[in-house]
Amino acid sequence: MRKLTTSMCAAGLLALIATAPASAATVDDVIAEGKAVYMGKSRGNCISCHQINDPDANLPGNQGPPMVAMAQRFPDKRLLRAQIWDASKTNPITIMPPLGKHWILSEEEIDAVVEYIYQF
Amino acid sequence: MRIIKNLTIGMSLIMGSQLVAAAGSGTTLDTVNPEADRMALRSYYQSRFPDSELSDYVNGIYAVDADSRSQWEELEEFPPYEFDVEEGERLFNTPFANGKGYADCFENGGIGIRQNFPYWNKEQGTVKTLEQEINECRENNGEAPLKWGKGAIAKVSAYMAWTSRGKVFDIKIPEGDKEALAAYLDGKEFFYTKRGQLNLSCSNCHLQGSNIRIRADLAGPALGHPSHFPVFRSKWGELGTLHRRYKGCHQDSRSKPLDMQSTTFRNLEFFQTYMSNGLVVNGPGSRK
């Protein structure tokens, strides 16, 4: 338990450091980055488990629900972000990796993928 | 990003109700009941895939997915492991420098015995696998051990499996032997525990995820996992042992994988093969 707490603090710290520099990225840049995170095997690899109605989504898996009606289903974007940051919080045995908690993605990458899926 | 090695080895066996049912009995030495676990796993699959015969689980994913099954049946018409079995037979029958051979190390001259592995060795206080005893046989006769995983060891093991096809797995946990039970429990725990950067357990993919797509891959059911090993895997383009597969799958959770034939992998094989009791040996097999 102590180890876990330490790791979570470390993740928080990392987030602080990472978000410090102001970024001048446009909305389009953020969405393009989010898409790259979604499709990238060594990044989010969301495509391996979630269908999404993007013509570039090739051979999606179906371990998780499809990314549809996101804005309606997640009026509070923070809840969507929290699901991606640590899916095991709501379901301890979920197959979905804790992308933020385990430093698989940076905080900006998570923000970007949230913006990307929020369009669908 | 960063590979978190031991930090994230979540030790708790937290499970949802359906999977608790699949995991069967308890998770402590006093509550664990291997036979109850085995029956629970079988009924989990029976209710999840009511159209699949239990005896067909030796065919892995092909027991539950009709599409990949037809491709596989074509593959099996000219089995890719055929030459390896022949080569394995030749290796098996080639005497060591001291004139002895593999046949001298095993019960029944090594023929038709695959279904008895792995087994609990009370004197040594450890689980013994077939590959492990193949190498011990060599070393006891002054030969260098073979590399685990692929090559000659997989071929010899494939030949020995071939001579045992159709025999029923019958892994025993001696009554009242707490050490043997602890080895089983260690394997069971390994199977259900989440680990690695991706926080995945074997059961995430092979129980919950059986026959559900991860991109274009379909993870097969856990029941019957060891029955057809060693396996000729198209992705490898060659034969590989069960522990080679364990290592690859362990790595897929972004963990630093254990060594082949390590105590825990042998305990995992003990657990998985006990789960497969009642199914037949059908190794070597072929897989995508």
User: How would you classify residue B194: left for phi > 0, otherwise alpha for psi between -120 and 50, otherwise beta?
Assistant: beta
CB contact under 8 A, B204 and A60: no
Average pLDDT over residues A86-97: 93
CB B114 within 8 A of CB B226: no
| Separation of alpha carbons B45 and B54, rounded Å | 8
Is position B250 annotated in a ligand binding site? no
What are the residue ranges of CATH 1.10.760.10 in chain B?
A: 2-78+168-287, 82-162
Query: pLDDT tens digits for B232-265?
Result: 999 999 999 999 999 999 999 999 999 999 999 9
Is the pTM value of this prediction over 0.80? yes
Q: How confident is the model at residue B20 (pLDDT cuts 50, 70, 90)?
A: low
| Separation of alpha carbons A92 and A113, rounded Å | 22
DSSP one-letter code for B238 = E
Query: pLDDT tens digits for B31-70?
Result: 999 999 999 999 999 998 998 999 999 998 888 888 889 8
Whether A17 shows a pLDDT value over 50: the answer reads no
CATH number for A25-118: choose from 1.10.760.10, 1.20.1530.20, 1.10.132.10, 3.40.50.1460: 1.10.760.10
CB contact under 8 A, B197 and A102: yes
- C-alpha distances (whole Å) from B191 to each of B66, B142, B201 are 27, 36, 6
How confident is the model at residue A24, as a pLDDT?
Answer: 60
DSSP one-letter code for B284 = S
Q: Which residue has tokens 């002054």? A: B142
From the list B15, B21, B111, B249, the catalytic residue is B249
Query: pLDDT tens digits for B69-82?
Result: 988 888 888 899 99
% of chain B residues with pLDDT over 70 = 93
Q: Which residue has tokens 């393009």? A: A32
Q: How confident is the model at residue A50 (pLDDT cuts 50, 70, 90)?
A: very high
CB contact under 8 A, A106 and B1: yes
CB contact under 8 A, A61 and B216: yes
Helical ranges in chain A per DSSP H: 2-19, 27-39, 70-73, 77-85, 107-118
Q: Which of B8, B209, B213 sits opposite A102 (nearest CB)?
A: B8
Whether B18 shows a pLDDT value over 70: the answer reads no
CB B243 within 8 A of CB B269: yes
Average pLDDT over residues B156-166: 98
Give catalytic status of residue B257 as yes or no.
no
User: Which residues of chain B are within 8 Å of residue A98 when distances are taken between CB atoms?
Assistant: 199
Residues B109-142 as b/e (b if ≥16 CB within 10 A, e otherwise) read: ebebbbbbbbbbeeeeebbbbbbbbbbebbeebe
Mean pLDDT check: name the lowest of A13-17, A24-28, B76-80: A13-17
Kindly state whether A89 is in contact with chain B, defined as any CB-CB distance less than 8 angstroms. no
CB B83 within 8 A of CB B259: no
User: Which residues of chain B are within 8 Å of residue A10 when distances are taken between CB atoms?
Assistant: none
Residue predicted with more confidence, B190 or B13: B190
How confident is the model at residue A16, as a pLDDT?
Answer: 43
Kindly state whether A48 is in contact with chain B, defined as any CB-CB distance less than 8 angstroms. yes
CA B186 centroid distance within chain = 15
User: Which residues of chain B are within 8 Å of residue A92 when distances are taken between CB atoms?
Assistant: 14
| Separation of alpha carbons A114 and B13, rounded Å | 31
DSSP for B166-192, please give it: TPBP-----TT-HHHHHHHHHHHHHHH
Give the architecture (CATH level 2) of B82-162: Orthogonal Bundle (1.10)
How confident is the model at residue A83, as a pLDDT?
Answer: 96
DSSP for B65-111, please give it: -HHHHHHHHHHHHS-TTHHHHHHHHHHHHSPPTTS--GGGTSGGGGS
Q: How many CB pairs under 8 A join A and B?
A: 64
Kindly state whether A62 is in contact with chain B, defined as any CB-CB distance less than 8 angstroms. yes
Is position B213 annotated in a ligand binding site? no
Q: How confident is the model at residue A23 (pLDDT cuts 50, 70, 90)?
A: low
Query: Tokens at residue B287, please?
Result: 């897989």
Query: pLDDT tens digits for B110-131?
Result: 999 999 999 999 999 999 999 9
Q: Is B286 helix (H, G, I), strand (E, B) or coil?
A: strand
Radius of gyration of chain B (CA): 19
Q: B284 preceded by cis ω (within 30°)? A: yes
How confident is the model at residue B14, as a pLDDT?
Answer: 34
Query: A69: burial class by Cβ within 10 Å (0-12, 13-18, 19+)?
Result: exposed
Nearest chain A residue (CA) to B8: A4
Residue predicted with more confidence, B25 or B54: B54
CATH 3.40.50.1860 fits B2-78+168-287, yes or no: no
Is position B228 annotated in a ligand binding site? no
Q: Which residue has tokens 């559900």? A: B212
How confident is the model at residue A68, as a pLDDT?
Answer: 96
Q: Which residue has tokens 């097969």? A: B220
Model ipTM over 0.90 = no
| Separation of alpha carbons B45 and B223, rounded Å | 8
Q: Where are the domains of chain A?
A: 25-118
Kindly state whether B7 is in contact with chain A, defined as any CB-CB distance less than 8 angstroms. yes
CB contact under 8 A, B16 and A93: yes
**Orientation of helix B263-275 relative to helix B34-48, angle to 10°:** 60
Q: Is B165 helix (H, G, I), strand (E, B) or coil?
A: coil
Mean pLDDT check: name the lowest of A94-108, B59-73, B153-167: B59-73
Is position B249 annotated in a ligand binding site? yes
Average pLDDT over residues B190-208: 93
How confident is the model at residue A4, as a pLDDT?
Answer: 44
Q: Which amino acid is residue B136, in one-letter code?
A: E
Is position B202 annotated in a ligand binding site? yes
| Separation of alpha carbons B134 and A80, rounded Å | 53
Interface of A with B in 14-43 (CB under 8 A): none
CB contact under 8 A, B197 and A104: yes
Mean pLDDT of chain B: 90
Nearest chain A residue (CA) to B15: A93
Q: How confident is the model at residue B185 (pLDDT cuts 50, 70, 90)?
A: very high
| Separation of alpha carbons B170 and B115, rounded Å | 6
Query: Tokens at residue B229, please?
Result: 């090993």
